[in-house]
Amino acid sequence: MNGPVERARHRRGRTPLPAIAAAATALGLAASLAVAANAVGNARDRATGNDARMAAALWELPGAGAQAVAQFLGNRVAIQAAEAGGRGPGEYGYEAGALDPVVWIAIDPEPASPSWPAGATVPALLAVLLMAAWATRRRHHPPPPRYPATTSILTAALLALVAVAAARWADLELEDLSAAHVSHALDAASIASATGATPATAARVAGLPWATATALDRPDQLWTMPREVARAITALPPDLRAAGAYTIQANGATYHAAHATLPTASGAAPPPTTLHLAFLGYQETAAPTIPLAATTTATILALNLILFLLPLSARPRTLRRTLAAWSFLAPAATLLLLFTFGPLLFSLWISLHEWHLVDPAHPFTGLDNYRDILLDATWWSAIRNTAVFTLHVPAAMAVALALALLTQGSRRAIRWARLALFLPGITSVVAIAVVWKWLLNDGYGVVNQALARVGIGPVAWLTSPDTALPSLMLISVWMVVGYQMVVFQAGLAAIPRDWYDAARVDGAGPLQRFRHITLPGLRHTLFFVLVTSVIGSFQVFGLVYVMTEGGPLGATDVAVYHIYREAWEFLRFGNAAAMSWILFAVVFAATWLHFRLLEGRRDERRAYA
């Protein structure tokens, strides 16, 4: 290690800090623990729905009153029992209706057992893969410090054990829950039968956390439970329903259920039958997912930090400098963790669940979302459209390079031309899209009007599956060409003029000078523009959203727009998150490919050197 170059190379060899791998493992462990712990929470969520749903349901109970609500829901719904007495002119009446013949059903779901142990091991496997990848690269460099690596490998090895143990624990607990709640439901029915109490009172006495009412004979009215479960219940033969407790297989889960018929309160002619459903579960539905994950992550990160800093304690100066460097980095790193990596990991988490924005029941579905997407033809159509759209990038670069060569110099006209070309790049995409949408309108668009004057058209720019995507590509070229031109001009300015002079002296013509001086001189600039533009084109959204809404017939349905619709129109956030990760993988692969190609050329150049 003599020269500065070798020292630099040595430093490069040390850059992948073991702490990074350790942190990745720690995060994997935290995720794994969270997955396992959340399995219990998911089951309870599925059993209980959410507080709001239950609150809405409770209001239906005839004669229930606010006291029952307050008792059932605690402080989550800020309705105080005292309000029940406050009746008067302009006030509210909480008591309405009469006790009808009712049927009670108690439901407690149990998630399908195979999915979550498998799911919990996914992060573990990822972490192990990360470790393996890290351990096998750059073997020719000095080995990394021992402690973080050892810790990471050990924690990675523990992941599966923890996950499986937690899953088993969840299983056992759910079993107890189911049995207990079915008996509670039967107790409630007995209490009501024996005493003539209202369903709410009976439920409260029996210790049922929640209850709601709906009509048995109307599956579409079973709105407080998963639709599949409602269908399963309504499909049950009456004699089976009358048997008491039973189980239902629906929605990939086992539901324990029970019911009983309550007598009429007055003994008069039976009013219309009402079915009362009691969703069972704990009132405290929130599993210790977040605290557990946070604590685990913090502990393991702290452990790794200590192990990382421990060897440095023998060198106080290095330790001081390291701490100083990290303290300078801390604010930016914190922001990055909170607002970039945090949401990233959260989206990964969401992608493993059936996730609705406002429904706290987020059943863990493992890789089901990914499987569904990979089998979804419309998603692959969107990916294909995106890939085709990306083809505008080389076209735009060629135009931009030509413009950059043509608009060199500082004459006023050239400066104005550069400004005019650059303007679309700094204009709002929405504004551009709105204007172009009008320009390209079939009937009254300026473009078709102009073409009509020369006997062409009308062209269905945006209304034909054959032309809509190329139209968007053309507009995109117009949008980005100014920005790319400016970047190319910066690159051109960096090429020494002497090289051109020397080439002229040697008799090189313009094309030869372009081929042998300009292009090689712009290689890094070209690479930069290519990579950033390809990534940008994979993220195209505004043009599609405003101009075509993915149509006609999905011809312009690109990946990000597809994800947007999945999340915000169809409210399937789990699927949308999984799509985002697949798109990330595609973009990552494309970028990696670009880098590999450039690396190859660099190696080739070194070989000649």
Residues that bind another protein (CB under 8 A): 49-57, 59-60, 76-79, 83, 87, 90-97, 213-215, 218-221, 223-224, 227, 231, 274, 356-359, 441-444, 452, 458, 460, 462-465, 468, 548-549, 551-553, 565, 568-571
DSSP state of 93: -
Identity of the residue, 220 or 284, whose beta carbon is nearer to another protein in the bound complex: 220
Identity of the residue, 70 or 163, whose beta carbon is nearer to another protein in the bound complex: 70
Locus of tokens 């998630």: 111
Identity of the residue, 358 or 493, whose beta carbon is nearer to another protein in the bound complex: 358
Identity of the residue, 291 or 509, whose beta carbon is nearer to another protein in the bound complex: 291
| Cis previous bond, 552, omega within 30 | yes
The least CB distance from residue 144 to another protein, in Å, is 42
Identity of the residue, 173 or 442, whose beta carbon is nearer to another protein in the bound complex: 442
The least CB distance from residue 391 to another protein, in Å, is 21
The least CB distance from residue 447 to another protein, in Å, is 12
The three-state DSSP-derived secondary structure of 283-317 is: CCCCCCHHHHHHHHHHHHHHHHHHHHHHHHHHCHH
Count of positions (residues) in the chain: 609
Locus of tokens 């605290």: 291
Identity of the residue, 408 or 464, whose beta carbon is nearer to another protein in the bound complex: 464
Identity of the residue, 501 or 549, whose beta carbon is nearer to another protein in the bound complex: 549
- Amino acid (one-letter) located at 604: E
Q: What are phi and psi of 213, to 5 degrees?
A: -130, 145
Distance, in Å, from the CA atom of 130 to the CA atom of 153, rounded to the nearest integer, reads 10
The least CB distance from residue 547 to another protein, in Å, is 8
The least CB distance from residue 246 to another protein, in Å, is 23
**From residue 246, how far is each of 188, 250, 260 by CA, in Å?**
16, 13, 12
The three-state DSSP-derived secondary structure of 523-539 is: HHHHHHHHHHHHHHHHC
Identity of the residue, 362 or 418, whose beta carbon is nearer to another protein in the bound complex: 362
**From residue 162, how far is each of 32, 33, 125, 167, 348 by CA, in Å?**
8, 7, 13, 8, 20
The answer to whether residues 289 and 34 touch, using CB atoms and an 8 Å cutoff, is yes
The least CB distance from residue 343 to another protein, in Å, is 14
The least CB distance from residue 303 to another protein, in Å, is 33
The long-range contacts involving 585-594, CB below 8 angstroms and separated by at least 24 positions, are 586/383, 586/538, 586/559, 587/534, 587/535, 587/538, 590/534, 590/535, 590/538, 591/531, 591/534, 591/535, 594/527, 594/530, 594/531, 594/534
Q: Most distant CA pair in the chain: distance in Å?
A: 114
Identity of the residue, 377 or 413, whose beta carbon is nearer to another protein in the bound complex: 377
The least CB distance from residue 393 to another protein, in Å, is 24
Distance, in Å, from the CA atom of 281 to the CA atom of 271, rounded to the nearest integer, reads 30
The least CB distance from residue 218 to another protein, in Å, is 8
Distance, in Å, from the CA atom of 250 to the CA atom of 34, rounded to the nearest integer, reads 25
The least CB distance from residue 104 to another protein, in Å, is 16
DSSP state of 606: H
Pairing of strands 274-279, 212-214: antiparallel
Distance, in Å, from the CA atom of 345 to the CA atom of 24, rounded to the nearest integer, reads 11
Identity of the residue, 276 or 418, whose beta carbon is nearer to another protein in the bound complex: 276
